[in-house]
Amino acid sequence: MSEGKRSSFTGGLGFILAAAGSAVGLGNLWRFPYLAAQYGGGIFLLVYVILAVTFGFALMTTEIAIGRKTGTSVVKAYKALDKRFSFLGYLAAIVPIIIFPYYSVIGGWVTKYIAVYATGNAAVSSDTFFGNFIAEPVEPLAWFAIFLVLTAIIVFLGVEKGIEKVGKFMMPVLVVMIIGITIYVLTLENTMSGLYYYLVPDFSKFSPKTVLAALGQLFYSMSLAMGIMITYGSYLKKDVNLNACVNQIELFDTGIALFAGLMIIPAVASFSGIEGMNQGPGLMFITLPKVFAQMPAGRMVGLAFFILVFFAAITSSISLMETIISFAMDKFHVSRPKACIVVLILAFIIGIPSSLGNGVWSNITLLGKDFLSFFDFISNSVLMPIVAFLTCILVGWVLGTKFVVDEVKRGGCKFGREKLYVVLMKYIAPFCIIAILIFAVLEGLGIITV
């Protein structure tokens, strides 16, 4: 008995670390704080946390259970569950293909900031530094290419093991740094209004768009609705307590996001006032350098911080690229080196508009958005909710939730929140997800106004 317990513990821990390494990335550090700032602070936070412990929990449980039960990756997994749902596997597989290029564009910005802090450029804390940088035609493209090539080299050489070791060391350091910077930020002047904005919900700022944004962020941050957790689940040992793993991954991912918001949003209030909340994707790059400029040894802190963000980003981009590569190898029967080169080139080409959309191509908009925000919107706010909705239909109505429940309870494990899980998958989640999606898309297209 003690034998079994020990192996399930180590198996579980390795799995949790791998899944958390994929989940924790730019989504937590860059995307969550700017969305929370943009969508009304406290109200976004509240909606996000409610969605995380309900929809997030239900979908992550479902995906990991599907993976462990079918023992295969996304396209084959949906096919194995129900032939009519094969298309769902493809739909899920498209999501990383859309995300990977623009993820690497932002990875490039992070890499640039490492260089800036390493060489010491005092202008980095000015209001215009970031805007001027991303408006340049060539430089951001070059950093994007560097980040992409670094990712590709690691995926090609398969040195994930080494990266994993770095990751295990880096995650705790990142947590300590975020907490340290947060404490420092709260000693600055005028942070109370930002803290209040972030922590106290203002219900007048609530709209269906808040829920759509929070839902999209949830999927993105936890790497859900794109088959990643199915693939990870397929590596999970049968005797590991699935329910416990889900809880820990969720806690870790959400905790880091919440702290990242706490680190950035009160600082925005301090430097730019509450009006500064609407800065969008540039938030992390504009606000934090101002904080570092005020800190003792700020240049070193800034350098260390962006190196950590870089590691969090590259572990995620490696896993994004790996997903695409294994899909391509399976589907088109090409070798790994070939797949790597083709994916690298395609990702660069697809990423070009996202990189130029802040400068030379900023007059071109799709649905009123620049290219990067457009790709982000299509994947997180449209495709992922569709995949999540259809997964709920498949599991809640076509197959029945029993197979997931049995998979979770395998070997006598407890399934905390089992009843909640069943009700969510069958009734609440599909209805809410489709309602939010339709509403927000109609509004985005200007057909209805809220």
Residues that bind ligand TRP (CB under 6 A): 22-23, 25-28, 96, 99, 220-221, 223, 226, 228, 316, 319-320
Checking phi first, is residue 333 left (phi over 0); if not, alpha (psi -120 to 50) or beta? left
Q: How far apart are CA 18 and CA 315, in angstroms?
A: 10
Decide if 12 contacts 206 (C-beta within 8 A): no
User: At closest approach, how far in Å is the CB of 103 from ligand TRP?
Assistant: 7
In this structure, what DSSP letter does residue 366 have? B
- Of 68, 423, 386, 32, the C-alpha closest to 222 is 32
User: At closest approach, how far in Å is the CB of 24 from ligand TRP?
Assistant: 6
Beta carbon nearer to ligand TRP, 219 or 292: 219
Return the ∠ at Cα 356 (arms to 273 and 122), rounded to 5°.
Answer: 50
Alpha-carbon 402 to chain mean position: 29
Decide if 331 contacts 350 (C-beta within 8 A): no
Beta carbon nearer to ligand TRP, 254 or 319: 319
Beta carbon nearer to ligand TRP, 191 or 254: 254
**CB within 8 Å of 75: residues ≥ 6 apart:** 86, 89, 90, 93, 227, 327, 330, 331
In DSSP terms, 369 is beta-bridged to 366
- Three-state SS for 369? strand
Beta carbon nearer to ligand TRP, 143 or 311: 311
Q: How far apart are CA 189 and CA 175, in angstroms?
A: 24
- Of 367, 431, 430, 361, the C-alpha closest to 105 is 361
Beta carbon nearer to ligand TRP, 53 or 188: 53
Beta carbon nearer to ligand TRP, 150 or 295: 150
User: At closest approach, how far in Å is the CB of 243 from ligand TRP?
Assistant: 21
Beta carbon nearer to ligand TRP, 226 or 392: 226
User: At closest approach, how far in Å is the CB of 10 from ligand TRP?
Assistant: 23
* Closest residue to ligand TRP using C-beta atoms: 27
User: At closest approach, how far in Å is the CB of 135 from ligand TRP?
Assistant: 25
Taking each helix axis from N to C end, the angle separating 42-51 and 192-199, rounded to the nearest 10 degrees, works out to: 40
By residue count, the chain amounts to 450
Q: How many CA atoms lie within 13 A of 317 on its CB side?
A: 30
Beta carbon nearer to ligand TRP, 213 or 226: 226
User: At closest approach, how far in Å is the CB of 375 from ligand TRP?
Assistant: 13
User: At closest approach, how far in Å is the CB of 37 from ligand TRP?
Assistant: 17
Decide if 242 contacts 407 (C-beta within 8 A): yes
User: At closest approach, how far in Å is the CB of 323 from ligand TRP?
Assistant: 6
